[in-house]
Structure 1
Amino acid sequence: MKHTNFTGHAEYESYEHAYRFLSSGINKQTQLDYLANALQQVFAVQDEKDTRPSSLDIAYTLKKLGVDAHTLIAALITDPRLRDRLDLLTIEEQFGSVIAALVKQVNWLNTFKSADLKADYIPEQAEALRRLLLATVNDVRAVLIRLAYRLERLRKLSQEPREIQYAIARETLDIITPLANRLGIGELKWEMEDLAFRYLEPTQYQSIARSMDINRIKRESIINGFVENLQVLLESQDIQAKAYGRAKHLYSIWKKMQRKNQECHELADLLAVRIVVKDIPQCYQVLGIVHGLWKHLPDEFDDYIANPKENGYQSIHTAIIGPENQIIEIQMRTEAMHQFAEYGVAAHWRYKEGSSQDKAMEKTIETLRNLLENPVDDDTLLEELKPDFFNDRVYVLTPKGEVVELPRDATALDFAYFVHTEIGDHCIGAKVNGHRVPLSYPLKSGERIEILTDSASTPKLSWLNHKKHYVTTARASSSIRNWLNAHYKDTDAATLITSDNLSGIGSHTVKPSGCCHPRLGDHIIGVYQTDSTIVVHLESCPNAAKSAHDRPTLELEWGEHGDTIRQQVLIEAFDRPGLLQDLTTLMNRSHVNILQINSVTDTDDQSVSMRLLIELNSEEELHHLLRRIEYVPNVFKAESDSRAITQ
């Protein structure tokens, strides 16, 4: 089983050999002339002593991805050895305006400084990512050249000093491979991940590589036997399919080891088979055959044909208990799905306009455009691009039936912010399959979500309390934090409460630290000072960690602004079993404190009147609570019964 289609060594032996390979499939004479000119200039400046990536290697990689002629030519003439010979005016004169514009985009990406792990790493990487996203939505081909260049840089990274190896590897896993994943370019993504992993975690890399090599013969024997039997079986059912074993990539194995907290030799699912068939009905036919012959693991089943991933990826995934009780992962897909899974938007030029793959590419670009245009902070931008290694996904429906993909454990409030920031900011509740649920409700695949809004409603500080699990996605957290900081600029005025004691910190004076500048909604910690004041730091602040060795610390949460109020509420309903329990559960989930309940039931018409004394944070919360109570089955009226009493 080959690790990848790319060897890291260009197959060219001469100008003629390179021209034959790169020109295959190009029919326009003008483009062939441009290619010949570019190749001649590249061969003229080759130097064996120059260790920088050669544009010939990059062009070969891109050719195997199926890019168009303009991309190949632009990749060739962006060779660093040609920078002093070819300015943009000369490029436009020799190769035309389209290629010149593409080269200009690539040069713009190349002007950003190399990876550096100093203190301002995150802002720098966020800016690099914004450049990549902007180039993607303007002309994705510039980014493809950049990705191919990074792959070649990683292949030659052994020649670099250790600190450079580490910096390039980390930057690759932080922003380069997540972007390749979003663009669906599996061939580049997997190899870049493994190479970066090699330099980022060399000990772990070598350990997994040795473990895989020790058991390689046994694994290949099991897989080869399984594939041969499966191939015969499918042919007997008149299914023409290509079935083959595929190698597990070392980085994905390491992530699985982390997720399952197991060593490599303890993992039971290191065998994998891919089956490529003619059409979608055959994918499901093969699935039925596989599940009919072998016991499958229900938790490992995913239908990405019915519910494609955000980047357009489609396949059916399952896992069965095969020969010798070995777990075998199986993927079923059509040839078109396979090409898209391996080459993504890089192979866009292979598809007919309007095809499902073409539409998937357009959707991917639109998703990245939305990410670029959505005003989020640097951490959130970097986080939103990364694939979620530790969580599966859930697929829920909008009221119009559109499918939305979110991380597992995403809440109704996460969904609201995914749809639009304004909807999240004004969210007061949600319905799942027609029934009211709290905003912290964890969504499940297949559910239809409706968000209830009120223009007078605004985000709450409690939404960012990570112990209450209102939101789990970076997008929602960032949007809430941005709104709070825009409307509550005086951080010092915020009330601090402990996570387990709402009476808070008593009479202690509280001050924000001057080193890490905590903002509303950040995870924070308090450090007691000798004068009994408490200085608030970010949990991640190194100064707080140092102080914790000498001084007591206190886990803190941001409290809500404003005083609590007490309010009488009148509820009228038709009595039924469980009514009181439903009401008290609703109030508990809304963080409303019930101080007193008086209830009177009319036995003639089975109506009930309840008078409650409750404690909550504001008139606004009272207004929304009354609306939520009226959604409880059998309740026909809920209103305030007296003036609010400020506590």
Structure 2
Amino acid sequence: MVLVRSTHVDKPQQHGNWLAAVPASARAEAIKAHSEWLSSHCKNRPDLLLKGQEMVEILGTLNLDHDSLVAALFEPALEAGVIQLEVVEQQTSGPIIQLIQAVQQMQTISELQHFQHGKPNTAQIDNVRRMLLAMVADVRAVLIKLAERVCFLREVKSLDEETRVLAAKECQEIYAPLANRLGIGQLKWELEDLSFRYLNPETYKAIAQQLHERRVDRETYIQDFVQQVQARLLDEGVEADIYGRPKHIYSIWRKMQKKHLGFDQLYDIRAVRIITRSLKDCYAALGVVHSLFRHIASEFDDYIATPKANGYQSIHTVVAGPAGKHIEIQIRTQAMHDDAELGVAAHWLYKEGSSAGKGHGFEEKIAWLRKLLAWQEDMAENDELVAEIRSQVFEDRVYVFTPKGEVIDLPAGATPLDFAYYIHSQVGNRCIGAKVDGRIVPFTYQLQNGEKIEILTQKSAQPRRDWLNTSLGYLNTARARSKVQTYFKKLDRDKNIAAGKESLEAELAKINVPVGHAEQVLERFNMQHLDDLLAAIGAGDVRLHQVVNQLRPQSSASASAERLERLTARAKPAAKSGKAGKQSDVTVEGIGNLLVQFAKCCQPLPGEPIMGFVTQGRGVSVHRADCEQLEHILEQHPERGLAVRWSARESGNYRVDLTIDANDRTGLLHDITSILAHEKAAVVQLDSQLDSLSQQARIALALIVDSNEALTRIFGRLHQVKGVHRVDRTKQ
């Protein structure tokens, strides 16, 4: 293994050697001054000063700016509590302090290792979210933390075994994947090799010994190979640097495990790198190598044409070199090489005096965020320890951008209106449309990680009351709903009463209940007058569906049961159940000769979890296990619940109702019905509605399908139709 860079300081008394080795420049003089000051404050802990200086050297190879180097210098002493941030603030500038705080925020990553003893609490989850936002805001914080971990692994060899193993495990599972995602090869390799050394000491030692024993022969062989290729490159007019490259023990071990090979069977123990001056010379060099030696076709990869996920580009080929020995060759340009070694640092260079993290292009921030999101997937693959925090931090949140590149953290499922109200109440109130990555989207569109959101406003615009209808999906955050409710509260009470009455009348008309019957439920909502309830509905303080559910006809327990029984009527003929007979789709466990009907309210399909309910005189009604109607009635009659299961014969015709929301366009219905015809799903009913203001179409379908698997295929294909953004089973 090759270290990132040998430090100039190994012992406390060598502080002077380090200062003398710093190249002369205005920036270097400032670093020296800070180092001298820190030395005077770390007299009892010179190791902290040395660690800071070592971090400065590592980050110097990554071309980081002055602020980053100063922040790295102070970081170990600050983390150990030897000096306080307030004291450092007097010696440095505001941007450096902000960068130090971002680095400190990354300490939260270590908490991931402790969640194995229990679920993370809200404070821990919030800490990790803040860490993520800090990382998005300034990638330099990540680079400083990676350098600190490299230094820690270098020094941990002198500590006890438990500490070594814990540190190595953390770096292998979290920091090495992060360095890989950022494309920083020189940090990734050292983190991996040192971690492997402490976690698998015997294997590490065995591979290292084999590399050492054959080093002289290998270097002589590579030197002869390089001379031969270099001569031919010159003859062909291809200007390039060619040299042997170091091998990393962890990568050797990984390849041995992956390909089930012994050490002697590996192709890339002998390895050469060719650095060309241009892209076309990469392929010219490849042609030269393949003309000289027979290449192994199965070992060829063109990562220039198809870069890796972290942006890595290079041509990899393996040839049978002199004496038939296999040798691996990497061919790339200097820019590609810099990318491979420096990764994200090669693109996020800071000009002296610029604001940290403020000058980056939006596309760079998008790419950076996506690398972070990919990194959290890597973490979960390595260890189940982080599964809980991963789901709560990443899967329950979306991280999107404003047009200016500011990162906004919202709950998963948030819509453009949620985003607008997060920015400001007036932005939400005046919102007339939204663009996501430059394209117009409906208000019900659910935002995805890394998208740029632009809100379109108009001074005369105002919120719509149906935004508060949760079933329509306009608002999915409590914050946004609260702001809309506040807006309507401020309207004239009479307007709220009128609006509430209009909304309630419309919903109650569907169940043939006069609005005056709402007086029966006033006490449930702690109100004395019907107008108070109507005003509360109009203002959004009381959810419409809460009132409607209270006013459904025959709301007693027995009446509810009868209502549920009526919902079992279905196009498919009832079949008797008991033992799974030829005509039976469902088996009622433990009971024979019962009439079985399928509930219309939830329309269960073969393959879905189901539950039975014993009706009065109509046999057993079969529901989906997650049916809300069933849940409600079982609260009143738990003794009438019955375990049922699908029998071996599950084929047949089953009705299912769907609702599709989509952007209206020419050919939309044709595309949808073509898919249904291809899937052999019979359409028995179709109805469509168009909102002319938002140009949103809502299509209601009744289909006949033969199984849940068929419906799943239909769902998948409908979601792929241009403009479709929601497909749901309709609740009766």
Relative to the length of structure 1, the TM-score reads 0.55
Would the aligned equivalents of 1:106 and 1:145 in 2 still touch at CA under 8 Å?
Answer: yes
Deviation at 1:43, TM superposition (A): 2.4
What is the alpha-carbon distance in structure 1 between the residues aligned to residue 344 and residue 327 of structure 2? 29
What is the alpha-carbon distance in structure 2 between the residues aligned to residue 68 and residue 324 of structure 1? 48
What is the alpha-carbon distance in structure 2 between the residues aligned to residue 122 and residue 187 of structure 1? 35
Name the SS for the 2:304 alignment partner. coil
With over 3 angstroms needed to count, the CA separation of the structure-2 counterparts of 1:311 and 1:377, relative to structure 1, is: closer
Q: How does 1:176-575 map to 2 (within 5 A)?
A: 176-348=175-347, 362=365, 364-368=367-371, 370-371=373-374, 379=380, 564-567=650-653
Would the aligned equivalents of 2:9 and 2:18 in 1 still touch at CA under 8 Å?
Answer: no
With over 3 angstroms needed to count, the CA separation of the structure-2 counterparts of 1:358 and 1:57, relative to structure 1, is: farther
Deviation at 1:91, TM superposition (A): 3.1
With over 3 angstroms needed to count, the CA separation of the structure-2 counterparts of 1:69 and 1:348, relative to structure 1, is: farther
With over 3 angstroms needed to count, the CA separation of the structure-2 counterparts of 1:129 and 1:213, relative to structure 1, is: farther
Residue-by-residue CA offset, 1:531-569 (whole Å, 9 max, x unaligned): xxxxxxxxxxxxxxxxxxxxxxxxxxxx99999441499
With over 3 angstroms needed to count, the CA separation of the structure-2 counterparts of 1:99 and 1:290, relative to structure 1, is: same
What is the alpha-carbon distance in structure 2 between the residues aligned to residue 328 and residue 115 of structure 1? 41
Higher normalized helix content (fraction of residues): 2
Amino acid of the structure 2 residue aligned with 1:91: V
Tell me which structure has the larger Cα radius of gyration.
Answer: 2
Amino acid of the structure 2 residue aligned with 1:617: N
Q: Does 1:80 align with 2:171?
A: no
Query: Which of the numbers 36, 39, 56 marks the counterpart of 1:40?
Result: 36
With over 3 angstroms needed to count, the CA separation of the structure-2 counterparts of 1:71 and 1:219, relative to structure 1, is: same
Residue-by-residue CA offset, 1:474-505 (whole Å, 9 max, x unaligned): xxxxxxxxxxxxxxxxxxxxxxxxxxxxx999
With over 3 angstroms needed to count, the CA separation of the structure-2 counterparts of 1:265 and 1:74, relative to structure 1, is: same
5+ residue gaps, structure 1, are 387-419, 423-454, 456-502, 509-558, 570-585, 593-612, 629-647
Indicate the residue corresponding to 1:58 in structure 2: 55
What is the alpha-carbon distance in structure 2 between the residues aligned to residue 84 and residue 195 of structure 1? 27
With over 3 angstroms needed to count, the CA separation of the structure-2 counterparts of 1:103 and 1:564, relative to structure 1, is: same
Name the SS for the 1:78 alignment partner. helix
Would the aligned equivalents of 2:109 and 2:128 in 1 still touch at CA under 8 Å?
Answer: no
What is the alpha-carbon distance in structure 2 between the residues aligned to residue 211 and residue 626 of structure 1? 55
Name the SS for the 1:199 alignment partner. helix
Would the aligned equivalents of 1:15 and 1:40 in 2 still touch at CA under 8 Å?
Answer: no
Residue-by-residue CA offset, 1:417-445 (whole Å, 9 max, x unaligned): xxx999xxxxxxxxxxxxxxxxxxxxxxx
Residue-by-residue CA offset, 1:36-83 (whole Å, 9 max, x unaligned): 431112222455876556201111111122111110011112232686
Would the aligned equivalents of 2:272 and 2:327 in 1 still touch at CA under 8 Å?
Answer: yes
Would the aligned equivalents of 1:184 and 1:343 in 2 still touch at CA under 8 Å?
Answer: yes
Q: CA RMSD in A?
A: 4.8
Q: Does 1:106 align with 2:107?
A: no
What is the alpha-carbon distance in structure 1 between the residues aligned to residue 29 and residue 647 of structure 2? 69
Would the aligned equivalents of 1:564 and 1:617 in 2 still touch at CA under 8 Å?
Answer: no
What is the alpha-carbon distance in structure 2 between the residues aligned to residue 364 and residue 277 of structure 1? 27
Indicate the residue corresponding to 1:554 in structure 2: none
Residue-by-residue CA offset, 1:271-317 (whole Å, 9 max, x unaligned): 11100111111111101111122111222222222222222221111
Indicate the residue corresponding to 1:139 in structure 2: 138
Amino acid of the structure 2 residue aligned with 1:154: L
Deviation at 1:210, TM superposition (A): 1.5
Amino acid of the structure 2 residue aligned with 1:326: K
Name the SS for the 1:566 alignment partner. coil
What is the alpha-carbon distance in structure 1 between the residues aligned to residue 309 and residue 286 of structure 2? 23
Residue-by-residue CA offset, 1:182-235 (whole Å, 9 max, x unaligned): 111111110111111000011111111122222222222211110111112112
Query: Which of the numbers 620, 624, 632 marks the counterpart of 2:711?
Result: 620
Name the SS for the 1:95 alignment partner. coil
Indicate the residue corresponding to 1:484 in structure 2: none
Query: Which of the numbers 88, 92, 100 marks the counterpart of 1:91?
Result: 88
With over 3 angstroms needed to count, the CA separation of the structure-2 counterparts of 1:619 and 1:161, relative to structure 1, is: closer
Indicate the residue corresponding to 2:614 in structure 1: none
Deviation at 1:240, TM superposition (A): 2.0
With over 3 angstroms needed to count, the CA separation of the structure-2 counterparts of 1:378 and 1:165, relative to structure 1, is: closer
Name the SS for the 1:54 alignment partner. helix
Deviation at 1:90, TM superposition (A): 3.6
What is the alpha-carbon distance in structure 1 between the residues aligned to residue 85 and residue 44 of structure 2? 27
With over 3 angstroms needed to count, the CA separation of the structure-2 counterparts of 1:159 and 1:50, relative to structure 1, is: farther
Q: Which has the higher contact order (CA 8 A, sep 6+)?
A: 1
Indicate the residue corresponding to 1:605 in structure 2: none
Would the aligned equivalents of 1:563 and 1:618 in 2 still touch at CA under 8 Å?
Answer: no
Residue-by-residue CA offset, 1:306-337 (whole Å, 9 max, x unaligned): 22222222111111111121221111111111
With over 3 angstroms needed to count, the CA separation of the structure-2 counterparts of 1:254 and 1:8, relative to structure 1, is: farther
What is the alpha-carbon distance in structure 2 between the residues aligned to residue 82 and residue 623 of structure 1? 55
With over 3 angstroms needed to count, the CA separation of the structure-2 counterparts of 1:269 and 1:338, relative to structure 1, is: closer
What is the alpha-carbon distance in structure 2 between the residues aligned to residue 504 and residue 167 of structure 1? 53
Would the aligned equivalents of 2:271 and 2:328 in 1 still touch at CA under 8 Å?
Answer: yes
Would the aligned equivalents of 2:176 and 2:188 in 1 still touch at CA under 8 Å?
Answer: yes
Would the aligned equivalents of 1:66 and 1:349 in 2 still touch at CA under 8 Å?
Answer: no
What is the alpha-carbon distance in structure 2 between the residues aligned to residue 377 and residue 283 of structure 1? 31
What is the alpha-carbon distance in structure 2 between the residues aligned to residue 103 and residue 561 of structure 1? 64
Aligned length: 419
